Chains A and B, each alone.
Chain A
Amino acid sequence: MNRLFVFCEGPDDIRFFEGVLKSELREGYASVELIAYAGMKHIRVDGFIRGIGAMGDDYLMVADIDSDRTVKAKKNRLKRWYRELDTDKVIIVIKEIEGWYLAGLNDHASRSLGLRPLPGTDRITKERFNRMIPDHYVSRIDLMIEIIKRYSIKVAREKNRSFRFFYWKCLE
């Protein structure tokens, strides 16, 4: 059985994949390994991709849509940076990973954390998330970990379109 490598941007994505998705993704793989690629040189990322291919392993690259208008535009940008990248393996998060965190909370879970329940999280950015943090949370990392404890993938599929697409592509 081969391994699955997931390229994550930074600590917030790593925490999310580690806490919510790693065990789901493991099905069909010997193991799931997370690689933080933000700040890594482009040729090094290419090196990882080549190495993974040579070992016959599989990979995914997770990226926020950022300022790009469309998924296609973001994929093209990534392809310009990483020549070895197969854009079919790219998962685009809309708008930012904070939206995927909030998507997994049902109304009860939201309220238990002091967050206003949201019908959808397709427009959540880092800044909006930061503004939502209840006063009694000294740390956003702490809040994110509490969200993971209450996370429902089923709810997340309803509340975030890019998460639903990811689920359909990788987990179904």
Chain B
Amino acid sequence: MRIKQVSCRNFKSFSDLTVDLDEYNILIGTNAAGKTNFIRIFRFFRDIARHGLGNAISLQGGAEYIRNIRISSDVPTEIGIIFENELGVFSGVRDTRGGSHTLSFHQIEYRFSLQIEEGGYRILEDFLRISCSCTPDLGEGESGQGELRITHTEDGVFYELSTPEGIAIEITEIIPPYLQKNVPRSGTLLIENPLLVPMPGFQRFFAEIAIYDFDPRTPRKAIPLSGRSDLEEDGSNLAIVLKGILADPEKKRRLSNLMTELLPFVQDIDVRKFMDSSIYFTVTERYGDEHPLPSSVISDGTVNVINLICALYFDEKPFIVIEEPEKNVHPYLIARVVSMFGDAARNKQILITTHNPGVVRHADIEDILLISRDSAGYSIITKPARREEVRTFLKNEVGIEELYIQNLLGL
């Protein structure tokens, strides 16, 4: 699973944006450059899949702030994404001449556009393209490319299948007629209507996008044992997540090693029950006696680092975003934190945002995306590694960090 590209028009501080993503991406830029706005694209997709478009718009601060406040109000807001995912294989699909084929769906392009109106919104476009390979089951016929297009308009939902030349497959072979008759509730999108797109990985992918912006204070409180078991956006249910990790010897071993890497003074982590219904965690430090300290008294940096390790290594989600992960982390540890991002990115796609030169210094130029404002004041994202000028400076021993501090990475 990998997001290859995201794009938007007239969204927040962006006018027209297309960004290609890799396995591991570090988005850097000064304050108010638009880092959090960029993350809002992913958040928007996720919230629509989880709570529906109406609620997702409210969660973005209301319809009037979805679009750019400086762009004329008749310009639509458009958002798109392309990602790779093994979505499923349809085998034994009959063509019109009786031959049989296997279709494997692997790439998704999804986009929608909204017209923001006084007190609400109207859906202008809602379109999904799922690419597949199409291989004949018998004989030596070659495999070719096809695609399923799903278009949602005011008149309903339309399905079209393209197949390699010379092969004709009726759409009903993969989308049964009774499913094609479904009509979405007005004002809703394809990603919030699982029955309209009968490929389970599709909605789940959006709903599972994980975004973290850790707050070192909230995880310190004791929390109800009945809370969610996957890490919350602010890390507030860390104690419950730790409880799950510590219950599994292999995960516990891994946690202990990764903690040693960043916080060598931590000897042990544990969780304790409080009044039977709540839970908090404790940390035993190597400084002197063996007394476990409750989460309420440990340092901000320690809490943040534990949250980071949980998000990077114990979260099953395929795509995670972490906002300013180096918060409260000592400069000496930043090199190690950055190397952990690269390490964790072997198993999941990672996007981090930062304005910290320390992170930039230890990063590889190929992994960096720079966000800045163009001459008209819109946020833009560029890849410094592709700039001749930046490459020339780097060849001459000027570090990335120095170029960033001097505001020259966007040259």
Contact = CB atoms under 8 A, between A and B. Distances in A.
Contacts of B172: none
A15 B336 CA distance: 10
Contact of A10 (B250, B254, B258, B335): B335
A141 interface: yes
B344 A139 contact: yes
B313 A10 contact: no
A146 B397 contact: no
Contact of B260 (A11, A139, A145): A145
A145 B257 CA distance: 7
B399 A141 contact: no
A38 B344 CA distance: 21
Interface residues of A, number: 19
B261 A138 contact: no
B335 A11 contact: yes
Given A10-B339, A39-B401, A42-B397, A139 B254 contact: yes
B339 A141 contact: yes
A129 B344 CA distance: 16
Contacts of B362: 10, 38-39
B258 A139 contact: yes
A36 interface: yes
A139 B402 CA distance: 31
A24 B123 CA distance: 69
Majority DSSP secondary structure for residues of B touching A: helix
A77 interface: no
Contacts of A154: none
Given A139-B343, A139-B344, A15 B313 contact: no
Contacts of A142: 254, 257-258
Contact of A141 (B257, B335, B361, B401): B257
Interface residues of B, number: 21
B399 A140 contact: no
A12 B399 contact: no
A10 B339 CA distance: 9
Majority DSSP secondary structure for residues of A touching B: helix
A11 B261 CA distance: 9
Contacts of B344: 139
Interface string A140-168: 11100110000000000000000000000
A41 interface: yes
A136 B313 CA distance: 13
A145 B340 CA distance: 13
B254 to A, nearest CB: 5
B339 A12 contact: yes
Contacts of A136: 250
A42 B344 CA distance: 30
Contacts of A140: 343, 346
Contacts of B402: 41
A136 B362 CA distance: 28
B41 to A, nearest CB: 28
Interface in B328-358: 335-336, 339-340, 343-344, 346-347
Contacts of A15: 261
A142 B313 CA distance: 10
A130 B257 CA distance: 18
Contacts of B254: 138-139, 142
Interface of A: 10-12, 14-15, 36, 38-39, 41-42, 130, 136, 138-142, 145-146
Interface of B: 250, 254, 257-258, 260-261, 313, 335-336, 339-340, 343-344, 346-347, 361-362, 397, 399, 401-402
Given A12-B339, A138-B254, A139-B254, 12 more contacts: A14-B336, A39-B361, A39-B401, A41-B399, A139-B343, A139-B346, A140-B343, A141-B257, A142-B254, A145-B257, A145-B260, A145-B261
10 contacts: A10-B335, A10-B339, A11-B261, A130-B346, A138-B254, A139-B254, A139-B313, A141-B258, A142-B258, A145-B261
